[in-house]
A and B are shown apart, each in its own frame.
Chain A
Amino acid sequence: MDGLSQRITDAVHGQTQPTLTVLSSLLAVEDELGYIPKEAVAEVATFTDTTVNDVWAVASFYPNFRFEPPCEHKIELCWGSTCHLVGAMPVINAALEASGLSDEGDTPDGKLSVRLNTCLGACAQAPVISIDHHLIGRVSPEQVRRKVTELLEG
């Protein structure tokens, strides 16, 4: 068994909660690897006694799952109502410009994944972004541009 398969098996079989499902298994794999490789879909299907089709159905429904290895860093930009009202669009624009992307996605060098998020949960500090799961509130477009540049150069 290669390293990837071993990690998938460990993640799926290492779940400790009583209710084990397709979704919980996929979340366990994503926590471990940061994405859902093809091998994991088969493993989850076997583990939950379902089919590869069933597993894909669930994996493709929830947009938090990605199917390619993650980038080195991840920046999430909130576009929820509150953030929208107090300046999310210029912040998103700045992040995209600085990363050379025209829409959400990954930079070609694999350094940075730029994603929009419907709500990061810190609305009182809007506009909010998160970099590698660390929230930053009351951001300005300039600040975001600087952060993105640092991540791409670092």
Chain B
Amino acid sequence: MTTSFQEIVVEAQTRWQALTAGSQPWIRVGTALCGKAAGCDSVVDAIKGALESQGMRATVSEVGCLGLCFAEPLVDVQFPGGPRIFYGNVTPEIAQRIVANHIVGGEPDAEIALGYLEGVFTDPSTEEPDSEDDCIRPKNIPNLDLHPMRVLETRIVLRNSGTIDPMDIYQYVANGGYRALEKALREMTAEDTLTQVADSGLRGRGGAAFSTGTKWKFLAGSGAPVKYILCNCEEGDPGAFNDKAILESDPNTLLEGLILAGYATGASHGYIFIRHGHDGPIDRCRAAVNQALELGLWGENILDSGFNFQVEVALTGDSYVAGEESGLMEAIEGKRAMPRFRPPFPAQSGLFGKPTNINNVKTLAYVPEIVSKGAEWFAGIGHDQSTGTAILCLTGSLNYTGMVEVPLGTNLKDVIYQVAGGVPAGKELKLVQTGGPLGGVLGADSIDVVLDFEILRSAGAIMGSGGIIAADEDTCVVDLTRALIAFCQYESCGKCFPCRMGMSHLLEVLERICRLEGQPQDLDLMRSVGENMQAGSLCGHGQLGFNPVASALKHFGQEFETHIIDRQCPTGRCLGPRFSPKLSRR
């Protein structure tokens, strides 16, 4: 029943046309994790209920994350051929008002609208937007593209997020999806494809920032019949949710990237690895995988090219170290997620002893656009050796929390004060925590740095997975450091004793300092423990585990002294109740 790719595209375009320029309005509700936490489920129910009671017809779709998480639940209404009108912080009551005024009344409710976006009427075959005159601009409603969170954005991976229904592969195809795969299979050799990715300068977005092309060459060099590409969506970093958001918003862009990675490296199998319990990302990813199989986009003889590639979604239990590349392979094999000794490296002997390559979700999700638009285009975005964009999760004490995709080379200060709108309630920024719990903290006076893997690292912070947590003046650095180490201690897999015992020891010392019972020698003691952890641990968890303490001491050493010498917590945060999980790995 092989359908040609052209037939799939025609079907997708017909469906998209019916949706955006058909007879009824299209209502989209953001239902990623941020939307769920803000109560989108009751908003969806309220919209459907109001439509029914008013006797109105409209298509209601659950989409992913547009990035403006602070405004969730986010609802937008698009009349055929018109712009998308967004409403933020929608409650079931506001949802009824939107249906009454906008759907029944036919006019946008300017009083409560957050902004508008010009609808995507792009003809995907030309990829040229319609001329500006064709867009109808609503009166008294701001252009959402001028919102601080969107002005600095360059959307590559997030191009479809919050726009298409992630459960419908045809919407992805209608917006140019799987064209890169078709192009690569039809007119590019595997080597060409790999060269494009290598020349683009793409580097791993999971934290290590290693050249993706170089990594792929290790795997491509092996002639073994069974080779694996693993996509890591374990994402246990508190403060980072971009991998999950990509799976929830546009899972096909990842899947297409995975299949392209398989083609470029001659791999036979791909695994997408997600933490059990994150039902939204898992369900949407599985739907994409199943639908793509039905359309013949993976499996045997993909699009008649002779290339075979199998895809599977694998789940892990709760374990942060399962996100480490060799821990991940252990978990897929169903064992304790404990890192392995290297060598042998995964490209020689990885999952089930076969040559293996591991990439983060974001890394793979760039690949379709790189293959479509070429290495040069991608290399032209970014800063120096850091090409492309950074997908950042902005959380903590910020006016606009959410997810943005900005070119590398953007200044972190602009991200905090412009994109995220600075700190609310007139408070001062105290510090920024980047790169997850193994990353570091930067004092407010040190954030004038551009987002670049090397520059950030030399500033004592890392890009990590893209989580940027802002803390205001009420934050106690000692208390925050204790919380970060509590996480690292809880998540240590226990294999290497310098990490297992070092983390416990660090936590004990930090608890003591928080209780204002610290000893003058405690800071040196922690440094010594940290050195041992770095030298004696097998994986990044132990090697980097001292980072939060080291960077906190570097930027806020005085505050530790105040706790230890003066027996005072200036913010009083350390005096409040403290909790850490009781259960741990046995």
Contact = CB atoms under 8 A, between A and B. Distances in A.
Contacts of B315: 23-24, 27
Contacts of A116: 579-581
Interface stretch (B114-122, B175-183, B361-369, B482-490): B482-490
B265 to A, nearest CB: 20
Nearest to B280: A121
Nearest to A28: B315
A133 B279 CA distance: 9
Contacts, number: 187
A121 B334 CA distance: 24
B332 A19 contact: yes
Task: Name, among A22, A26, A86, A103, the residue most crowded by chain B CB atoms within 10 Å (CB to CB).
Answer: A86
A89 B34 contact: no
Interface stretch (B140-148, B237-245, B250-258, B406-414): B237-245
B395 A126 contact: yes
A90 interface: yes
Contacts of B490: 118
Nearest to B472: A85
B576 A123 contact: no
A118 B238 contact: yes
A65 B37 contact: no
A4 interface: no
A125 B37 contact: yes
A119 B576 contact: no
Contact of A61 (B402, B487, B585): B585
Interface in B554-586: 576-586
B577 A122 contact: no
A138 B72 CA distance: 11
A135 B576 CA distance: 25
A143 interface: no
B335 A58 contact: yes
Interface residues of B, number: 73
Interface string A13-46: 0000111011111110000000000000000000
A7 B373 CA distance: 51
B57 interface: no
Nearest to B271: A19
B582 to A, nearest CB: 5
B378 interface: no
A147 interface: no
B421 interface: no
Chain A interface: which size bin?
35 or more
B334 A24 contact: yes
A19 B37 contact: no
B428 interface: no
B577 A93 contact: yes
Contacts of A105: 582
B334 A122 contact: no
Given A23-B334, A64-B276, A80 B238 contact: yes
A125 B34 contact: yes
A74 to B, nearest CB: 11
Contacts of B358: none
A119 B577 CA distance: 20
A63 B493 CA distance: 11
B276 A137 contact: no
B206 interface: no
B403 interface: yes
Interface in A113-133: 115-116, 118-126, 128, 133
Contact of B241 (A83, A84, A93, A122): A122
Interface string A49-79: 0000000011011111100000000000011
Contacts of B41: 134
Contact of B335 (A22, A90, A120): A22
A48 interface: yes
B374 to A, nearest CB: 34
A61 B337 contact: yes
B38 A137 contact: yes
Contacts of B316: 23, 62
A62 B33 contact: no
A115 B244 CA distance: 22
Contacts of A19: 271, 312, 314, 332
Contacts of A26: 317
Contacts of A82: 238-239, 395-396, 469
Given A105-B582, A119-B236, A137-B37, A86 B397 contact: yes
A92 interface: yes
B401 A85 contact: no
B352 to A, nearest CB: 9
B102 interface: no
A136 interface: yes
Given A81-B487, A122-B33, A89 B577 contact: yes
Nearest to A91: B579
A140 B69 CA distance: 19
B579 A124 contact: no
Nearest to B402: A124
Given A57-B335, A62-B318, A82-B469, 19 more contacts: A21-B332, A23-B315, A24-B314, A58-B336, A64-B318, A79-B579, A81-B484, A85-B469, A104-B582, A105-B582, A118-B238, A118-B490, A119-B239, A121-B235, A122-B33, A124-B72, A124-B402, A133-B277, A134-B41
Q: Which 10 A-B pairs rank lowest in CB-CB distance, beginning with the nearest?
A: A21-B334, A80-B238, A62-B317, A137-B37, A124-B69, A122-B37, A124-B401, A125-B37, A135-B37, A23-B334
11 contacts: A17-B312, A19-B271, A22-B334, A64-B318, A79-B486, A79-B579, A83-B238, A92-B579, A118-B490, A123-B239, A134-B41
Interface of A: 17-19, 21-27, 48, 57-58, 60-65, 78-86, 89-90, 92-93, 96, 103-105, 115-116, 118-126, 128, 133-138
